[in-house]
């Protein structure tokens, strides 16, 4: 059977993080290049794909419920091909076929190109499982929004956070070559992209595994070790020798280079690791207008003993110091975070430390999770998980209350200000109202006019903990 001759239809259901969203765009791009069309729902598709996540147990169960539906469809229409990709597939590997015999193909992240091989092979009934191989950079993508794009700057993760399954599903960390990334951003900009989000598990580790003899941008020299060379060097001779010596790339220079691509108006990234967030990156936030006024800095816990057991490699004070360093240079920046409650052995006192950091920092928003043991991780083996579930739920409620209270207080600072809003489309509740986002990553519903992808000035009139309301400022727009 050749998929190239008939118009087959595919449907992809995506679970998990932006990495998976982006991988799904590449699956869709690749399938369309093979001649497939996108079906509006899995019920109408010949190829039903799931791009899975395994970060918490809830992610697994959500996906397994969807698989049940695919099984029923396959009974009704036996020719349907069911494929399972992503982190869950990578974590269970061949077991996928034992547990779900109706699955035809399974593949880990970074295996999308092998999916194409499978689909164009003669025997689609053979089950296939493909291991992680490398970076599928050359794949076309099919984006949801023409003016926004993800750019994956690194694969994998070299850290060993004891609760986390990602290092085992996405492999070792590897940065994509700097020039290749800039080419990609240039192509995206030429294609109408105005905002890029750089993706990686630990984005500020970008470039440590790369080497270049390109000079560092002038603005970053004060932060670079070479600039702090001891006195007594021979000017000219030593400087030239230092310049010729290959050096690692840095995340800060990548941010600057991406921001300088003509057409790119906004640059975001996720996620940095608190241990690696350095002055150079913060200086770029402070001085390069394209780099957004938002940093997502995952705290996980505010308690030093728990952080150690999580293998996060920073303690409570170090996190607070990093926040202070960021706010000293960028007082208005939005800070968001991820927090886990009920890590094995977490006492009430230790949880209080998390609340204390939340009170002291005053995040603009936070994703909060109850610890979920993941197969194969160190924390899943910790036997002192004595915190009863109702206690975890109760801690979560207190945490969410504190997070919301600060988020609400923080958004009030925007009321009365005129902010640049990148229009994303009509508002979810009212088609006559537009919806967009500020540089701080706050959603704004506003009255006015403009096309998706356009940036317009909006006067903010009200704010809740999550969203802002406003009116487009005609004067500012005409003046612009």
Q: Choose the one of ligand SF4, ligand SAH, ligand F3S, none that binds residue 167, judging by a C-beta under 5 to 8 angstroms depending on kind.
A: ligand SF4
Is residue 166 a contact point for ligand SF4 (CB under 6 A)?
yes
Is residue 19 a contact point for ligand F3S (CB under 6 A)?
yes
Residue whose C-alpha is closest to residue 22's, from 197, 210, 241: 197
**The two structure tokens encoding residue 103:** 């699955």
**The two structure tokens encoding residue 371:** 């610890």
Are the beta carbons of 371 and 306 closer than 8 angstroms?
no
Choice from 20, 202, 337, 411 touching ligand F3S (CB under 6 A)? 20
Strand partners, 444: 436, 468
* DSSP code, position 141: -
| Phi and psi angles of residue 8, each rounded to the nearest 5 degrees, phi first | -90, 155
**The two structure tokens encoding residue 54:** 């395994």
Strand partners, 459: 418, 471
Quick one: the chain helix, strand, coil %, rounded to 5?
40, 20, 40
Cis amide leading into 271 (omega within 30): yes
Choice from 83, 207, 298, 344 touching ligand SAH (CB under 6 A)? 298
Is residue 157 a contact point for ligand SF4 (CB under 6 A)?
yes
Is residue 164 a contact point for ligand SF4 (CB under 6 A)?
yes
Residue whose C-alpha is closest to residue 90's, from 68, 113, 106, 69: 106
Strand partners, 463: 468
- Letters for 191-230 (x = contact with ligand SAH by CB under 6 A, - = none) are ----------x-----------------------------
Window contacting ligand F3S (CB under 6 A); options: 16-24, 408-416, 421-429, 451-459? 16-24
- Letters for 244-283 (x = contact with ligand SF4 by CB under 6 A, - = none) are -----------------------------x----------
Is residue 392 a contact point for ligand SF4 (CB under 6 A)?
no
Contacts of 92 (CB under 8 A, 6+ apart): 99
Look at the block and give the residue holding tokens 């990602």.
166
* Distance from C-alpha of 393 to C-alpha of 10, rounded to nearest angstrom: 40
Residue nearest to ligand F3S (CB): 16
CB of 160 to ligand SF4, least distance (A): 6
Window contacting ligand F3S (CB under 6 A); options: 49-57, 362-370, 394-402, 410-418? 49-57
- Letters for 373-392 (x = contact with ligand SAH by CB under 6 A, - = none) are -x------------------
Residues that bind ligand SAH (CB under 6 A): 55-56, 163-164, 166, 201, 271, 298, 300, 338, 340, 369, 371-372, 374
Residues that bind ligand F3S (CB under 6 A): 16-17, 19-20, 53-55, 86-87, 165-166, 169-170
Residues that bind ligand SF4 (CB under 6 A): 157, 159, 161, 164, 166-167, 201-202, 273
């Amino acid at each position: 059977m050749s998929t190239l001759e008939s118009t087959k239809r595919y449907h992809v259901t995506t679970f998990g993080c932006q990495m998976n969203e982006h991988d799904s765009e590449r699956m869709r791009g690749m399938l369309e290049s093979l001649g497939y069309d996108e079906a509006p729902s899995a019920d109408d598709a010949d190829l039903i794909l799931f791009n899975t996540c395994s970060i918490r147990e809830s992610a697994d169960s959500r996906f397994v419920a969807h698989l049940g539906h695919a099984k029923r469809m396959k009974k009704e229409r036996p020719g349907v091909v069911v494929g399972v990709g992503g982190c869950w597939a990578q974590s269970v590997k061949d077991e996928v076929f034992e547990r779900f015999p109706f699955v035809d193909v399974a593949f880990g992240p970074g295996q999308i190109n092998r999916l194409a091989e499978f689909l164009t092979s003669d025997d689609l009934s053979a089950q296939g499982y493909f291991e992680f191989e490398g970076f599928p950079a050359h794949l076309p993508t099919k984006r949801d929004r023409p003016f926004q794009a993800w750019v994956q700057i690194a694969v994998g993760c070299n850290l060993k956070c004891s609760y986390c399954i990602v290092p085992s599903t996405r492999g070792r960390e590897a940065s994509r070559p700097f020039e290749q990334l800039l080419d990609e951003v240039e192509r995206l900009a030429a294609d109408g992209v105005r905002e890029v989000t750089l993706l990686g598990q630990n984005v500020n580790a970008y470039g440590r595994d790369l080497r270049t003899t390109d000079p560092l941008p002038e603005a970053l020299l004060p932060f670079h070790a070479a600039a702090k060379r001891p006195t007594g060097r021979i000017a000219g001779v030593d400087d030239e020798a230092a310049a010729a010596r290959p050096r690692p790339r840095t995340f800060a220079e990548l941010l600057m280079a991406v921001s300088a691509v003509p057409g790119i108006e906004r640059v975001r990234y996720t996620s940095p690791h608190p241990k690696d967030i350095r002055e150079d990156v913060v200086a770029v936030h402070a001085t390069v207008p394209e780099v957004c006024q938002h940093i997502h800095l995952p705290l996980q816990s505010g308690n030093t003993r728990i952080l150690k057991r999580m293998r996060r490699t920073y303690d409570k004070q170090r996190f607070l110091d990093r926040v202070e360093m960021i706010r000293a240079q960028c007082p208005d920046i939005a800070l968001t975070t991820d927090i886990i409650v009920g890590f094995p052995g977490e006492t009430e006192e230790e949880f209080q430390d998390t609340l204390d950091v939340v009170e002291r920092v005053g995040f603009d928003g936070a994703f909060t999770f109850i610890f979920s043991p993941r197969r194969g991780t160190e924390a899943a083996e910790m036997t002192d998980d004595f915190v009863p579930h109702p206690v975890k739920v109760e801690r979560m409620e207190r945490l969410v209350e504190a997070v919301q209270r600060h988020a609400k207080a923080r958004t009030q600072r925007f009321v009365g200000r005129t902010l640049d809003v990148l229009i994303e489309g009509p508002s979810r509740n009212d088609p006559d109202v537009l919806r967009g986002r500020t540089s701080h990553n706050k959603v704004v519903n506003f009255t006015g006019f403009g096309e998706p992808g356009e940036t317009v000035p909006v006067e903010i009139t009200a704010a809740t903990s999550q969203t802002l309301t406003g009116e487009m400022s005609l004067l500012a727009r005409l003046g612009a």
